[in-house]
Amino acid sequence: MMGLVYFAPIIPSPPSLKIPGLLWEVGLNWPRPERGMKDPKAGMASNADTAGGAPGSSRVFVVRRDQDIYIQTLRKLFNESHGIFMGLQRSEEELAGKSRKAQLVQVSKNYRSVIRACMEDMHQAAAGPLLLRLLDWVRLHVCDVDSMVREVLSSENPSKHELFWNVVDVFVLQGRMDEARHLLSKEATANPTSMNMYKILDDLMKKMPMPSLGNTQTLTELELKWQHWHEECQRFLQDGTFASNPHMESICKILLGDEDAILEKKELMTTWYHFLVTRLLYSHPTVRPMELRFYAQSSMDLFLGGESSPEPLDMILMAAFEFEMHQVIKECSIVLSNWWFVAHLTDLLDHCKLLQSHNLYFGSNMREFLLLEYASGLFSHHSLWQLGVDYFDHCPEFGRVYLELHMERIPLSTEQKALKVLRICEQRQMHEQVRSVCKIMAMKALRNNRLGSALSWSIRAKDAAFATLISDRFLKDYCERGCFSDLDLIDNLGPSMLLSDRLTFLGKYREFHRLYGEKRFAEAARLLLTLMTAHIAPCSFWMTLLTDALPLLEQKEIIFSAEQTYELMRCLEDLTAGNTDKQKFQEDDVETTKVEMLRLALARNLARVIVKEGTVEGS
């Protein structure tokens, strides 16, 4: 097999690449829509050199990625073909034998149907025998005739229009006999003297044998009919029936497959493959696929005539006519502006077991390499990237690595998009990417002071440190405002609150407020004391917790027992015992007042408890 040279696959690599034989490195900013290449020696150039553009000056080359994905019609092509591709991958193990072959043929037809629909969107366009497909192909690619037809028919006297015979000739060259006959009828009406010639030519064009859809006649029968018709055309030409009308005589010669007559219309055909199809139509209508290569080469030589060299598209077509699939793929990879065609063609051929032996030097087979490149291009589009995910899924060797790298680089512009990315990563157990997305969204929410959203994302990321940071923000906001925001989230933390001690404290502290609001004072008191003695509350929040105990201490009904009261006293003394805290309380009148009120309330509660407990014991 021939060796193919493609761009190397994009796998984890250093930021710059040294290319043998070049004096500069390539710096890649991957996989953004643009790639930059710079000369690393540019920094050593003097200002004078740089200003004058001398050797060594700074030069940056911008290499743009596929722009085709932003064309509306091609976006339709990408979306439609994605469904066909996925269906082919799913059915690979389901069918075998004849059923499998029929299914692969159907997939090929589905791809062609999608291409046809997109081409009809761009221009205006029947599967059947080979010749019909070739004629249909030419009509799609040579569409100048339609504008000429409109111009001719919109004129006052179409048969006198300067483009009239050009349009008739193009219709004949493309095998569009009914349309050619319709135009010729206008000539006959305008010039009664040519009526007899018109009727004969019209009858020849009408009787021309053509392969058709659903026709059960054999190729031999078609060949015999065509031979009789061809002899009839020859007889009228030799009799000089059309001698007085050069245009009709030229058309008759074309019907006979006269190569010189056809080549006289070279400017109307514009391409050698149009000439090929016209030549086959009027000289070899029963051509078989394997014979195309011979007619194609001679048609290209006759048409170009040594005046110009073949274009890249010409080489692709020649390779296709010769059934050299690897050459087709190679040429298309070089010439075409995106990877859609080669990726899907190679995948289909691979499923047909026609590319099994063709592996590339860097370890992946050709199918996977081309699918990776196509999917990478899709990821540079704001919505088509979702299609690229499925293509990566069906690349067993490098697909997972590519997908992980691309998912990390998707701009998370909205929360909805972030959730899409997250769902894709979670479905594929891409835990590192899940954490990355959640952290990014948590930071965005925190910068916008959306604490509830930030906490939710940090919990999904299982990031204990970040959850602690946001919990502190919630507690700080509570101290400043006297109430919690995002109560629904905090009330429904569930097991998630165990992610960090601070988050646990936040959830339990909110539960204390709920119990207090429901007048379940005994449960609220036990929970408050637990929060202090378990040392999960931040020290800076102890005074707030002790202050929350004041309304419970002042209730008519005794809430705290003697032992619980002693615990609260110890916590208060621990809080005020430190030198720093002691100085703070001495300097702050409000804090001093709080401490005195707490001590008074605790002492009064202790006295009430002792009296009550002594009364109970005495009775």
Cα–Cα distances in angstroms (integers) from residue 567 to residues 100, 442, 545, 592, 606, in the given order: 79, 39, 13, 20, 11
pLDDT tens column, 273-325: 999 999 999 998 888 888 888 999 999 999 988 778 888 989 999 999 888 88
- How many angstroms separate the CA atoms of 201 and 236, rounded? 9
Per residue in 458-487, pLDDT (tens digit) is 888 887 888 888 887 877 777 767 677 766
Which residue blocks in 123-163 are alpha helix, DSSP H? 130-141, 144-153
Q: Which of 8, 41, 36 is nearest to 22 (CA)?
A: 41
Which of 71-75, 125-129, 360-364, 393-397 reaches the highest mean pLDDT?
393-397
What pLDDT is attached to residue 21? 39
Q: Read off φ and ψ for residue 197, nearest 5 degrees.
A: -60, -40
Place of tokens 């009228």: 236
> How many percent of the chain have pLDDT more than 90?
22
The least confident of 113-127, 417-431, 605-619 is 113-127
Q: With contact defined as beta carbons under 8 Å apart, do 205 and 180 qualify?
A: yes
For 193-251, write each residue's pLDDT tens digit: 888 889 999 999 999 988 776 666 777 888 899 999 999 999 999 998 999 999 999 99
Angle 28-31-36 from CA coordinates, rounded to 5°: 30
* CA distances, 570 to each of 79, 442, 539, 580 (Å): 70, 39, 14, 18
pLDDT at residue 535 in the model: 76
- Please, is 218 exposed, middle or buried when counting C-beta atoms within 10 Å of its C-beta (0-12, 13-18, 19+)? exposed
**Which pLDDT belongs to residue 393?**
93
Q: Using alpha carbons only, give the angle 151, 262, 125 rounded to the nearest 5 degrees.
A: 50
Work out the pLDDT band at 152, boundaries 50, 70, 90.
Answer: confident
The confidence band for 423, taking pLDDT boundaries of 50, 70 and 90, is: very high
| Residue 393 vs residues 343, 389, 500: alpha-carbon distances, Å | 14, 6, 36
Dihedral over alpha carbons 119, 120, 122, 123 (to 10 degrees): 110
> DSSP 3-state assignment of 461?
coil
The per-residue pLDDT for 116 is 72
Burial track 181-205 (b if 16+ CB lie within 10 A, e otherwise): bebbebbbeeeeebeebbebbbebb
3-state secondary structure (DSSP) of residue 600: helix
CA 552 to chain centroid: 61
If you average pLDDT over residues 524-544, what whole number do you get?
A: 80
Confidence of residue 252 (pLDDT cuts 50, 70, 90): very high
Q: Output phi, psi for 539, to 5 deg.
A: -55, -35
- Residue 579, both tokens: 């030198």
Distance (Å, rounded) from C-alpha 435 to C-alpha 461? 4
Q: Are 84 and 114 in contact (CB under 8 A)?
A: yes
Residue 154 has what DSSP assignment?
A: T
Positive or negative torsion for Cα 37, 39, 42, 48: negative
pLDDT at 109 > cutoff 90:
no
Strand partners, 359: 365
pLDDT in tens, 558-616: 878 888 888 888 888 877 776 455 555 555 677 778 788 888 888 888 888 788 776 65
Q: What is the pLDDT of residues 342-395, one digit of tens each?
A: 999 999 888 888 876 555 665 578 889 899 999 999 998 888 899 999 999 999
Query: Where do we find the tokens 């001590």?
Result: 599
SS (H, E, C) 270-281: CCHHHHHHHHHH
pLDDT of residue 445: 86
Least confident of 146-160, 259-273, 308-322: 146-160
What does pLDDT average to over the chain? 78
So what's the pLDDT on residue 295? 92
- Torsions phi, psi of 353, nearest 5? 65, 35
Is the pTM of the predicted complex or chain greater than 0.85? no
User: How far apart are alpha carbons 610 and 388 in whole angstroms?
Assistant: 75
Q: What is the mean pLDDT of residues 154-158?
A: 85
Q: What are the tokens at 216?
A: 């059960």
